[in-house]
Amino acid sequence: MDDKTRTELEAAAFRRLLSHLGQRTDVQNIDMMNLAGFCRNCLSNWYREAAEERGIEMDKETSREIVYGMPYSEWKDKFQTEATDAQKAAFEVNKPAH
């Protein structure tokens, strides 16, 4: 497979991941962190870092809007729930170092 095709396939898979996460607003970031070690915020940080590595300035709010499909503050108001004590405890045990 050539590099262009690989990049196109990776981009398509990333877009599908964002679409899937956009449909699964019931899944909280803390749940993703506890189970997989990353969340929507991590994806937005990685996106911003990739842009900056290519000389494209991007702030945190812009990258989060790309990942969340709306301003982060709007997503939080609509979909974010208060983490339970059990979720918080699991996060402290499993907190990734990135």
Angle 69-49-58 (CA atoms, 0-180°, nearest 5)? 60
* pLDDT tops 80 at residue 98: no
Tell me the CA end-to-end span of the chain in Å, nearest whole number: 31
98 belongs to a structural domain: no
68 belongs to a structural domain: yes
Q: What is the pLDDT of residues 29-63, one digit of tens each?
A: 999 999 999 999 999 999 999 999 999 999 999 99
For the chain, the helix, strand and coil percentages under 3-state DSSP, each to the nearest 5:
70, 0, 30
The model's pTM is 0.89
35 belongs to a structural domain: no
The tally of domains found in the chain comes to: 1
What residues make up the domain containing 53? 40-78
Q: What is the pLDDT of residues 82-92, one digit of tens each?
A: 999 999 999 98
69 belongs to a structural domain: yes
Task: Write the DSSP assignment of 66-79 as a string of letters.
Answer: HHHSS-HHHHHHHH
**Quick one: pLDDT band at residue 93, thresholds 50, 70, 90?**
confident
7 belongs to a structural domain: no
92 belongs to a structural domain: no
